[in-house]
Amino acid sequence: MRFLMPFREKEEARLEACRLALLEGANRQALSRRLGISRSTLYKWKSRYEAAGESGLVERSRRPHRSPHRTDGELEAAVLAVRREHPAWGGRKIAAVLRRRGMRAPAPSTITEILKRHGEAMTAAGQRPWQRFEHAEPNALWQMDFKGHVAFGGGRLHPLTIVDDHSRFSVSLRAADNERRQTVQDALQEAFERYGLPQLVLSDNGAPWGDSGQRDLTGLGVWLIEHGVALWHSPPCHPQSHGKNERFNRTLKLELLDRHSFDSLLHAQQAFDRWQYIYNHERPHDALGLAVPADRYRPSRRRFNPFVEPFDYGSQAMLRRVDVIGRFGFANRSWKASKALRGRQIALKPTAIDGVFDVVFRHVTLKTIDLHR
């Protein structure tokens, strides 16, 4: 008959097997077959039982007496030091940071084991891979959004985030107490003065960016156009268009907002500034091959001018001025432009189709009108 308890896991089974094997005239080969083990295993436990009695049947650790490849104490301390500085970073980011500091970095899996040994292991966040698209150069597109709102000692904190699409570089991280146009415009102007002008800024459709999905201009959009920057609205209910900014906001929440509280806007902005520097210059980014955003970002060659320069529409354009209700006259009819363009000059340019005209504000085509309709 076979032993009912697993031989490899139960000391009682090993003890009985050894006693049977030591009986006078015992057929040990037949006994090993009955037990479902090899003869070498039976002889190993028999030898240990004869040498140490029942204590020899206890499972021994398989850890080698020497571990020549084990991470040395100094490097292990460096791993833990980076983790204490950045509690949300895992093995790959810590390894990249150590390499950037000129140290010999162990494999990410080794770093993970170090973290586990010291009770610092992270649970997976359940992320799924994204199909990534990025513009080929810095400043081709900036993505901007508000990261919801956070309660703090002085009321509500509304983090405003602006990220370069190509490099993931954070060009602005503003601790704001509202989501109004002037707040956004001030942050953009500060970023323009520091980094130059992007070609395009991407936002969603809500205030202050757009007109709730109606694709109408807002005061912020007009201001951007007047300074040579196009404003593009992502399709409604399509957050993946803001993939870089959404990812930045999740990182901001995980690494800063969830781990700190603020008693004032000044306190929050100071924390934002410290974290923004780390994000741009020290934190390795998986999508960049563990480079940091500053490795890929370069300021724009297009300088910001706080004054609105006159715009030349060309000799073929017919100029009109938008009235106080956002309309203009053309061909004895009244046409809608946008209330945000009140008092500003627009132009109509003939297309290749007779009676069809493009309505243009500076470098942006607002709409096309057909006189036959």
108 and 175 within one domain: no
Give me the pLDDT at residue 327, please.
95
* 304 within some domain: no
255 and 155 within one domain: yes
How far is 106 from 109, CA to CA, in rounded Å? 8
Total structural domains within the chain = 4
287 and 222 within one domain: yes
* 282 within some domain: yes
* 154 within some domain: yes
Strand order in the sheet with 356-361: 318-321, 345-350, 356-361, 364-370
* 89 within some domain: yes
* 278 within some domain: yes
Give me the pLDDT at residue 299, please.
92
Q: Which domain holds residue 242?
A: 142-296
Quick one: which H or E segment has residue 142? strand 142-146
Quick one: which H or E segment has residue 233? strand 230-233
Give me the pLDDT at residue 213, please.
44
CA distances 340 to 211, 307, 324, 330, 345, Å, are 11, 18, 9, 19, 12
For residues 346 and 323, is the Cβ–Cβ distance under 8 A? no
How far is 273 from 296, CA to CA, in rounded Å? 20
113 and 41 within one domain: no
Handedness of CA 108, 110, 114, 119 (dihedral sign): positive
Domain limit, last residue, from 242, 266, 296: 296
As beta bridge partners, residue 358 has 349, 368
204 and 322 within one domain: no
Phi-psi region of 133 (alpha: psi -120 to 50; beta: other; left: phi over 0): beta
Backbone angles phi, psi at 338, to 5 degrees: -170, 140
277 and 153 within one domain: yes
* 135 within some domain: no
* 122 within some domain: no
148 and 290 within one domain: yes
Per-residue pLDDT of the chain (373 residues; tens, 9 = 90+): 444 344 444 667 788 788 788 877 778 888 888 777 888 888 888 888 888 877 777 776 655 555 455 556 777 777 777 776 666 677 777 778 777 777 777 777 777 777 766 656 544 333 333 345 667 789 999 999 888 778 777 688 999 999 999 999 999 999 999 989 999 999 999 999 999 999 889 887 666 666 544 457 888 989 999 999 988 876 544 444 567 888 888 988 988 888 888 888 899 999 999 999 999 998 888 877 888 899 999 999 999 999 999 899 988 899 999 999 999 999 999 999 999 999 999 999 998 889 999 999 998 888 899 998 8
152 and 78 within one domain: no
Burial class of residue 214 in the structure, from the number of CB atoms within 10 Å of its CB (0-12 exposed, 13-18 middle, 19+ buried)? exposed
Give me the pLDDT at residue 345, please.
95
* 65 within some domain: no
Residue among 163, 134, 160, 128 at smallest CA distance from 147: 160
* Sequence letter at residue 111: I
